[in-house]
């Protein structure tokens, strides 16, 4: 192998997944994080969040001595490559907070001061266009007292992995995008990925820092806008008798120019990426003199979407005061325990504001939910218990486990069989035929 020793700065969802996948392929991976508690847990083989197959990958990496987590950045001085994968959260005004990225670049720079290594520094964190060139490279040069190009190299290499599919997406990406002003650096990183992916090597884009950085934002903005678009059509369909957005989405999805993915209407998009990245793109556009109206509209459409669940519940039950509402699904999407910007949060707050009593269940996110809602709501220990004596059930996240729930189960467990399908998981005609008062996003009145 060409590049053998790799440091990953920032062991969050992106960094840790990269680290264990590289270790699986035989690289020696050092993981740095400032959080000593996280580092200790990882060294003990404990995963800090839920992601399919992550525990197995971490256990194998530790067992084969291919992964070491540490709070000591000096371990980087002998590495061939350093990934920056720290968080880039939103500031209160929606702009991006680049302070962790800058700090990571400075830390790496200091470790390179006395190093003989010609290190490749690769920016994985999502950063606004211009960050690698104008912030990261100068910070590395200042702190290392060495020169980019001659003594070390910088590449921008955004990631496109999805939570819940993170390992699969890392091992089988649709494409690789590498940006730099240093062709040799691009070549070096491409070589690593050619080794990593072997025969499955995906299409590659070699480009400028700025194009790579903007591609990442554009990707998320496009997908989020696609979802907001179908949610807008859902709003129209709900007011047209016998209309159903699901069939309309199927109809347009078969057009090869549109495609069927990301056309599932629902209660809106959440997570740690879409909300933050679209806000950052709108703010950046404003700063550089462009009004990104379309993206801003995708954001405002999405902000209204969760309230639809509360509205549908009110339409079905009248006043929600003292009504028992079961909320199934809390994480921002299935197969994760992540509740960042999850639509379940405004839904539950909306129900509580109406005086409802709320009981929730999620296969993975109950611990997260307790931190957010404390004793303001009840926590069930399973879906069936959650439905017990409920006047209405809101399905907020489409976990596969919930798909298995039969109409009879809702009828048997609930006080009133009112089901609001916020993710279009169930067949409306089947549920209605069974006697359920069934409402759903994008479903017109009968
Ligand atoms: C997203 C992108 O899909 C990844 O490519 C990207 O790497 C990642 O952000 C990131 O920037 O790190 P992720 O946030 O894990 O990935 O989740 P998605 O699967 O994209 O879903 C985002 C939200 O959209 C979820 O709340 C989901 O429920 C919602 N969604 C998605 C819909 O409401 N309808 C759809 O048809 C698809």
CB of 270 within 6 A of ligand 1: the answer is yes
**Checking DSSP bridges between strand 176-179 and strand 204-207, what pairing results, if any?**
parallel
CB of 166 within 6 A of ligand 1: the answer is no
Distance 150 CA to ligand 1 centre (A): 39
For residue 341, give the ligand 1 atom closest to its CA: 26
**Checking DSSP bridges between strand 437-440 and strand 28-32, what pairing results, if any?**
unpaired
CB of 274 within 6 A of ligand 1: the answer is yes
For residue 159, give the ligand 1 atom closest to its CA: 7
For residue 224, give the ligand 1 atom closest to its CA: 24
Residue 349, burial from CB neighbour count under 10 angstroms (0-12, 13-18, 19+): middle
Q: Whose CA is nearest to atom 31 of ligand 1?
A: 262
Per-residue model confidence (pLDDT) at position 189: 98
Name residues whose C-beta falls within 8 Å of residue 404's C-beta, 6 or more positions apart in sequence: none
Q: Whose CA is nearest to atom 11 of ligand 1?
A: 273
Per-residue model confidence (pLDDT) at position 2: 64
What average pLDDT values come out for the chain (446 residues) when binned by 10 residues?
86 97 97 98 96 97 97 95 96 92 98 91 97 98 95 97 96 98 97 96 98 98 98 97 97 98 98 95 96 98 98 96 98 95 98 98 97 98 98 98 97 97 97 96 88
Q: Whose CA is nearest to atom 13 of ligand 1?
A: 162
Per-residue model confidence (pLDDT) at position 219: 98
CB of 398 within 6 A of ligand 1: the answer is no
Per-residue model confidence (pLDDT) at position 94: 85
Q: Are 30 and 70 in contact (CB under 8 A)?
A: yes
Closest CA to 96 of 255, 263, 217, 180: 217
Tokens linked to 347? 């839904």
Q: Are 422 and 265 in contact (CB under 8 A)?
A: no
Strand, helix or coil for residue 113: coil
273 is catalytic: yes
For residue 266, give the ligand 1 atom closest to its CA: 33
- Round to the nearest angstrom and report the end-to-end CA distance of the chain: 63
């Amino acid at each position: 192998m060409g590049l053998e020793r790799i440091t990953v700065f920032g062991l969050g969802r992106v960094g840790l997944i990269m680290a264990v996948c590289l270790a699986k392929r035989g690289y020696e991976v050092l993981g740095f994080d400032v959080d000593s508690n996280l580092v200790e847990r990882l060294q003990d083989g404990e995963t800090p969040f839920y992601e399919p197959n992550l525990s197995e990958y971490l256990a194998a990496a530790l067992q084969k001595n291919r992964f070491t987590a540490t709070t000591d950045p000096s371990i980087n001085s002998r590495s061939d490559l350093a990934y920056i994968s720290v968080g880039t959260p939103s500031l209160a005004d929606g702009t991006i907070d680049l302070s962790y990225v800058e700090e990571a670049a400075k830390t790496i720079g200091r470790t390179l001061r006395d190093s003989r290594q010609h290190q490749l520094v690769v920016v994985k964190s999502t950063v606004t266009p211009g960050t690698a060139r104008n912030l990261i490279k100068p910070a590395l040069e200042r702190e290392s007292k060495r020169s980019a190009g001659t003594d070390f190299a910088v590449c921008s290499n955004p990631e496109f992995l999805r939570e819940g599919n993170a390992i699969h997406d890392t091992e089988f990406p649709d494409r690789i995008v590498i940006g730099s002003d240093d062709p040799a650096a691009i070549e070096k990183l491409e070589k690593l990925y050619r080794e990593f992916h072997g025969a499955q090597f995906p299409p590659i884009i070699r480009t400028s820092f700025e194009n790579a950085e903007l591609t990442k934002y554009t990707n998320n903005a496009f997908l989020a806008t696609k979802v907001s678009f179908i949610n807008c059509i859902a709003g129209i369909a709900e007011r047209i008798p016998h209309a159903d957005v699901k069939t309309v989405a199927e109809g347009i999805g078969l057009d090869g120019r549109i495609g069927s993915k990301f056309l599932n209407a629902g209660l809106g998009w959440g997570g740690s990426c879409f909300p933050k990245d679209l806000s950052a793109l709108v703010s950046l556009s404003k700063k550089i003199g462009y009004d990104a109206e379309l993206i801003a509209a995708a954001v405002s459409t999405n902000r209204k979407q969760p309230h639809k669940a509360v509205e549908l519940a009110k339409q079905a039950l009248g006043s929600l005061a003292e009504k028992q509402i079961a909320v199934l699904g809390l994480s921002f999407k299935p197969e994760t325990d992540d509740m960042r910007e999850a639509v379940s949060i405004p839904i539950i707050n909306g129900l509580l504001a109406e005086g409802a009593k709320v009981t929730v269940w999620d296969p993975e996110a109950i611990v997260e939910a307790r931190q957010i809602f404390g004793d303001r709501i009840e926590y069930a220990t399973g879906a069936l218990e959650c439905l017990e004596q409920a006047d209405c059930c809101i399905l907020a996240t489409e976990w596969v486990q919930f798909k298995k729930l039969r109409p009879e189960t809702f009828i048997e467990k609930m006080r009133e069989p009112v089901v609001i399908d916020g993710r279009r998981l169930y067949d409306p005609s089947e549920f209605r035929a069974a006697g359920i008062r069934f409402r759903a996003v994008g479903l017109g009145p009968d």
